[in-house]
Amino acid sequence: MKVKHTDSYYAASRNQQFDFPKLMGDHVADVCVIGSGITGATAALELANKGFKVIVLEANRVGWGASGRSGGQAIFGWASEQDTLEKLVGKSDARKLWDISVEALALTKSNINKYSIDCDWRDGMVHVGVKPRHDKELKAWYDDLTENYGYESLEMWDQEKTHHHIASKKYTSGMFDSNSGHLHPLNYTLGLVNAAKQAGAEFYEDSAVTKIEHGDPATLFTKNGTVKANHVILACNAYMDGLETKLENKVMPVGTYICATEPLGEDFTGALMKDHIAACDINFVLDYFRCSGDHRMLFGGRVSYSGVAPFNLEKAMRGRMVDIFPQLSDAKIDYAWGGNVAITMNRAPHFGRLKPNVYFAQGFSGHGIAATGWQAH
């Protein structure tokens, strides 16, 4: 029996259903992609469009990992802020990384349009502060991005304006970006998978790669089959599970959680969050939230470093949500779920080559919805 998608609002509202076969027997490919989240699906799509023979091997189901469970907020920049990147790689390369992140957002929107992906995209996302120190940090961030990076879609909100957009008394300021936005991450991923399939990529589910014999070509082994491939792309992020320990040791899988209320109606959610924007605070352990296409509150937060979900997840998530929005104290929770993000030590992403013909991308540190797509294209 194939593993199901995790029981979430996204799985319940997915608009495409795939049932790809298990890899059986011996195959050859120009490129073998391991993992079918946004990273793997985008890589497969781009390469198949260029005429390469692509095989995607997925241990579970397409979109089963973080890409199918995520908060769905597609945001500029990286989890490590620009000043950290400047210290790590210098100003010039930090600038290139910044440009990549902005291009990644454009690519996400362009993929949605080009491949007609029905994934509830909405423009607008705000980072909010909860205390005077945050207000200063947000203002300094805004100044840096507008003055040094020329990013023009930002707006600073004072407490009143923030409250006008988000009906919670908790927030003291906001940095709004009209260029960021949010989407249904599983439907986006499945839309990419569908486009890649139509471009000729072959997908196999329930086909965990258990070993890679490096060489030219490399040979990848699953329980019932093999793929000989000239190039390999590792797109396993926080779910690699022992395949390449050298890479796996560079990231820490950290659990993060989301709950979805019952549908609340457009008027109710529109009053909670004006213009259907997404929001995220800037605490170290942050709350992130937005309303779904069918007008539920999707409220995310909490972390688990042990991989064990909080006891009574639904109750734990409800507590956080009602603390921010007491208006939701009577709302029924229909779903609560979690997934792993891959955190690097400095929160900068980790991508590159493991061998001359083996590429990898991981460690998006909770900031991968847009970025995963760019580095794979």
Q: How far apart are CA 222 and CA 204, in angstroms?
A: 11
Site string for ligand FAD, 285-304 (x = CB under 6 A): ---x-----------x----
Cα Dmax for the chain: 63
**Selected binder of ligand FAD within 184, 232, 367, 374 (CB under 6 A):** 367
**Selected binder of ligand FAD within 208, 227, 260, 273 (CB under 6 A):** 208
**Residue 239, interface with ligand FAD (CB under 6 A)?**
yes
**Residue 256, interface with ligand FAD (CB under 6 A)?**
yes
Cα 127-131-132 angle, rounded to 5 deg: 105
Burial class (CB in 10 A: 0-12, 13-18, 19+), 131: middle
DSSP 179: E
Of 226 and 237, CB closest to ligand FAD: 237
DSSP 145: I
CB-side neighbour CA atoms (13 Å) of 306: 4
- Which long-range contacts link 95-98 to residues 24+ away (Cβ below 8 Å)? 95/149, 98/149
Q: Show contacts with ligand FAD in window 333-352 (CB under 6 A).
A: 338-341
Of 134 and 302, CB closest to ligand FAD: 302
Q: How far apart are CA 54 and CA 11, in angstroms?
A: 26
**Residue 10, interface with ligand FAD (CB under 6 A)?**
no
Of 23 and 272, CB closest to ligand FAD: 23
Of 119 and 258, CB closest to ligand FAD: 258
Q: Which stretch binds ligand FAD (CB under 6 A): 105-113, 192-200, 263-271, 368-376?
A: 368-376
**Selected binder of ligand FAD within 44, 47, 72, 269 (CB under 6 A):** 72
**Selected binder of ligand FAD within 32, 43, 209, 277 (CB under 6 A):** 209
How many other β-carbons are positioned within 10 Å of the β-carbon of residue 272? 20
Cβ distance 126 to 277 under 8 Å? yes
**Residue 73, interface with ligand FAD (CB under 6 A)?**
yes
Shortest separation between residue 96's beta carbon and ligand FAD, angstroms: 20
Shortest separation between residue 365's beta carbon and ligand FAD, angstroms: 8
**Residue 55, interface with ligand FAD (CB under 6 A)?**
no
Count residues binding ligand FAD (CB under 6 A): 45
Q: Which stretch binds ligand FAD (CB under 6 A): 37-45, 118-126, 261-269, 316-324?
A: 37-45
Q: How far apart are CA 36 and CA 90, in angstroms?
A: 33
CB-side neighbour CA atoms (13 Å) of 24: 3
**Selected binder of ligand FAD within 240, 277, 279, 317 (CB under 6 A):** 240
Name residues whose C-beta falls within 8 Å of residue 283's C-beta, 6 or more positions apart in sequence.
130
**Selected binder of ligand FAD within 6, 45, 65, 253 (CB under 6 A):** 65
Q: Which stretch binds ligand FAD (CB under 6 A): 83-91, 105-113, 139-147, 240-248?
A: 240-248
Q: Is 204 helix (H, G, I), strand (E, B) or coil?
A: strand
Q: How far apart are CA 272 and CA 196, in angstroms?
A: 37
**Residue 231, interface with ligand FAD (CB under 6 A)?**
no
Of 261 and 340, CB closest to ligand FAD: 340
CB-side neighbour CA atoms (13 Å) of 32: 30
**Selected binder of ligand FAD within 6, 108, 162, 237 (CB under 6 A):** 237
Q: Which stretch binds ligand FAD (CB under 6 A): 81-89, 140-148, 165-173, 362-370?
A: 362-370
Q: Is 355 helix (H, G, I), strand (E, B) or coil?
A: strand
DSSP letters, 187-199, are: HHHHHHHHHHHHT
**Residue 180, interface with ligand FAD (CB under 6 A)?**
no
Cβ distance 208 to 23 under 8 Å? no
Burial class (CB in 10 A: 0-12, 13-18, 19+), 325: buried
Shortest separation between residue 60's beta carbon and ligand FAD, angstroms: 4
Binding site for ligand FAD (CB under 6 A): 34-40, 57-60, 64-67, 69-73, 75, 208-209, 235-241, 243, 256, 258, 288, 300, 338-341, 364, 366-369, 372
